[in-house]
Amino acid sequence: MKILVLGSGAREHAIITALAREEPRHEIVAAPGNAGIAEDAAVVHLDPNNAGVVATYALEENVDLVVIGPEAPLVAGVADALRTRGIPVFGPGKRAAALEGSKAFAKRIMQAAGVPTGSATRAASQAEVSEALDTYGAPYVVKADGLAAGKGVIVTGDRNAAVAHADFYLQQGTVLVEEYLAGQEVSLFFLSDGNTVLPLSPAQDYKLLLDEDRGPNTGGMGAYSPLPWLPDGFVQEVLSTIAEPTVRQLANEQTPFVGLLYCGLILTERGVRVIEFNARFGDPETQVVLPRLTTPLSGLLLAAATGSLAGHDWPEFSDDVAVTVVLASEGYPEAPLTGRVITGLDSASAVEGVTIAHAATATTAAHSGAVIATGGRVLSVVARGAHFAEARERAYAAMGKIFLEGGQYRTDIAARVVS
């Protein structure tokens, strides 16, 4: 197949890596891609958020399948433009993508579908925020209603910090103040063709910047998969009580969800609850889920895009484990410093079981074609192993060979599951 992957992050690099290892070989094109993706796929420089440009390119280049990686093109309605022109696309339309684009919409869908989640109040003013904070008490949870690149959530015992977070996002729209839910968090992906839903393997990510879950919230600093501590039947339970009812409710509202339903979950004393939905593969969880996938990814994505998942078996995964550690620029997440050269990538890739998923990288003539950092989360070191101790050792051995001035990363990814 000729497959167009929209996006430029480590998630898209992981998707392309999974597609590229299949036989027979696919023709893979990425837009706009990054320095690492350019080594594994053809790169075209078009705006992935411009629906007309993407659709015209896909038609003119006879693309068989478009895979939309990031949330912005989904919320912009790029999938709708492609479907209107008869192009198979993996990714929900604009209305269904509101499941991620609007926290309030997601809460309404969950309530209508009977999906277990925490209580929440939508607030449009400082007074409403203050009243909701009093209602739920500490720890305080405040979320931006719209897209915020994974950084629109604060969980804090400091009321002033919660108010300041709310004030910032009130400038852009409404916010949600929610009850605090305690427990282990789990990320679980589901493929959907609008009717049939199939699960992938669970993962756990690390949202806070620093070791021991300290520091500001980020887009994700690492992840591991599978989760050996989950109870038996967990995936089936989430499929039956959360994913399928959500997709069914959207279908009932004439808003079919075709693509990847990301369920951000928490295991509370009262059972599984949904923290959030996303409408695309998660980052960095994709980097540890897809390397273990043994079922061809292209067939699953095309089946979802063409409404033919019914009858497919659950996707299968290898018995090994995967750990990913994210390297971020100095100053991330508030004000990352960019333009610095990254060295040691070849040495890191040579570590057994290791691959590098590029996120915010580019090559520059100013440094004789060297790879430079262009954003906050720069790359993910992905390591596989027979067990978590081996995968962790490989991941950090590889990370130790990479140098980025001021670069930062957590040293405790998957440490708990090892111990």
- Taking the C-alpha atoms of residue 388 and residue 11, their distance in angstroms, rounded to an integer, is 22
Q: Tell me the average pLDDT across 39-62.
A: 97
pLDDT score recorded for residue 150: 59
Q: Is the pLDDT of residue 312 over 90?
A: yes
**Contact between residue 261 and residue 243 where contact means Cβ atoms under 8 Å apart:** yes
Average pLDDT for 191-198:
98
Model confidence band, residue 62 (pLDDT cutoffs 50, 70, 90): very high
- Minimum mean pLDDT range among 151-165, 340-354, 398-412: 151-165
Q: What mean pLDDT comes out for the span 259-280?
A: 96
**pLDDT tens digits, one per residue of 84-115:** 999 999 999 999 999 998 888 999 999 999 99
- Domains parsed from the chain with CATH numbers: 2-93 (3.40.50.20), 121-178 (3.30.1490.20), 182-305 (3.30.470.20), 321-418 (3.90.600.10)
- Average confidence score pLDDT of the chain: 95
Residue 242 to residue 237: CA distance in whole angstroms = 8
What is the average pLDDT across 388-416? 98
What was the pLDDT predicted at 154? 87
- Interval 1-15: pLDDT, tens: 999 999 999 999 999
Residues sharing a CB contact under 8 Å with residue 203, sequence separation 6 or more, in sequence order: 186, 187, 188, 223, 224, 225, 226, 227, 282, 285, 288, 289
* Confidence at 147, pLDDT banded by 50, 70, 90: confident
Distance from the Cα of residue 135 to its chain's centroid = 31
CA distance 13 to 30: 9
What's residue 29's pLDDT? Answer: 98
Token duo for residue 226: 């599978």
- The band of 212, judged by pLDDT with boundaries at 50, 70 and 90, is very high
pLDDT band at 364 (very low <50, low <70, confident <90, very high): confident
109-139 per-position pLDDT tens digit? 999 999 999 998 999 999 999 999 999 999 9
pLDDT of 151 above 70: no
**How big is the CA angle at 400 (ends 399 and 402), to the nearest 5 degrees?**
65
Is 70 exceeded by the pLDDT of residue 168?
yes
Q: Is the pLDDT of residue 160 over 80?
A: yes
Q: What is the mean pLDDT of residues 12-30?
A: 97
Single out the residue of 248, 265, 4 nearest to residue 113, CA to CA. 248
pLDDT band at 49 (very low <50, low <70, confident <90, very high): very high
pLDDT beyond 70 at 80: yes
Residue 146 in this model has a pLDDT that exceeds 80: no
Instruction: Report pTM.
Output: 0.94
Averaged pLDDT for residues 141-157 = 80
* pLDDT value at residue 172: 87
pLDDT at residue 252 tops 80: yes
Confidence of residue 274 (pLDDT cuts 50, 70, 90): very high
